[in-house]
Amino acid sequence: MPKTLVVLTGPTGIGKTSVGIKIAQHFNTEIISSDSRQIFKELRIGTAVPEDEELNAVKHHFIQTHSINENYNASRYETEALQLIDTLFQKKDLLLMVGGSMLYIDAICKGIDTMPDADPEIRASLKKQAEDFGLESLRRQLKTLDPEYYKTVDLKNPNRIIHALEISIQTGKPYSSFRSNQNKERPFSILKIALNCDREILHKRINLRVDKMIEAGLEAEARNVYPQKELNSLNTVGYRELFAWFDGEITREKAVELIKRNSRRYARKQITWFRKDEKVTWFEPGEGDEIIRFIEAQIK
């Protein structure tokens, strides 16, 4: 049997955890998380970390293993996850990756280009520029320094723009010059599976999950990390909306409403991203047995 990495993904709130555990138990294997926020120790409720019972049912990796204070990114994940995969393949023929972080999945399946480490002072300067003169000033600067990337970047995303600028300024080369877009060969087979369901059902699942997070103590968890709210690791749905409430910018009710809305928007973004990949096979969350039969047929 060839070494095979099964990637189970899909939008937030779709139910990847339970389906992943069922698959992992069937194939007697381990789960590698590809969730860019569940990796942080301080973020449990708002990132929907699997329950202790679920974590005990199957061995999980990259769950609450790093601190929000670490400068963690997709490039570092690629290095660490590939090392782990190589080790696990010495005793397993099939491994399961579960999560919905698009860049982390691409880092393993396609590889990402090696970027120089960002300079914190340059980043701080660019953030101050955005505060003082607005995002448009950064857009104009990016258009000058890297017109190629300017044509493709989401111009409404300040983090992407700032990251491109800090690399361009630091190296004196356009950010796009570090993006070869060449897929890296992996010494194992990759099988991609995504979950989805009717949009109305998914939205109800997301709204209900947010309500459960609030009941479970998301507010207290957010207050605990609030003093570090400027960290990139905390620029995520569920926390930034509560931070806005803590800052007096919106009401508590509005914060919860925005968490639900932004979670739904993120789910749509994920679905759009995964649908662009022709190698993805789609299933519904309740089709765990069908997924197992599909995997068995593919690895024969």
Topology (CATH) of 4-113+182-298: Rossmann fold (3.40.50)
The CATH number of 120-178 is 1.10.20.140
φ/ψ of residue 70, rounded to 5 = -80, 145
Q: Give bridge partners of residue 191 from the DSSP assignment.
A: 6
What single-letter DSSP state applies at residue 38?
T
Assess whether pLDDT exceeds 90 at residue 274: yes
| DSSP-derived secondary structure letter, 35 | -
Q: Write down the pTM of the prediction.
A: 0.84
The answer, yes or no, to whether residue 181 has pLDDT greater than 70, is no
- Cα(237)–Cα(258) distance, rounded to whole angstroms? 9
41-45, 232-236, 254-258, 289-293: least confidently modelled range: 232-236
Are residues 174 and 145 in contact, defined by beta-carbon separation less than 8 angstroms?
Answer: yes
Structural domain boundaries of the chain?
4-113+182-298, 120-178
Residue 112 in this model has a pLDDT that exceeds 90: no
Q: What share of the chain is helix, strand, coil (3-state, %, to 5)?
A: 55, 10, 35
Q: Measured between alpha carbons, how far is 284 from 195 in angstroms, rounded to an integer?
A: 5
Tell me the pLDDT of the chain averaged across its residues.
94
* pLDDT band with cut points at 50, 70 and 90 for residue 207: very high
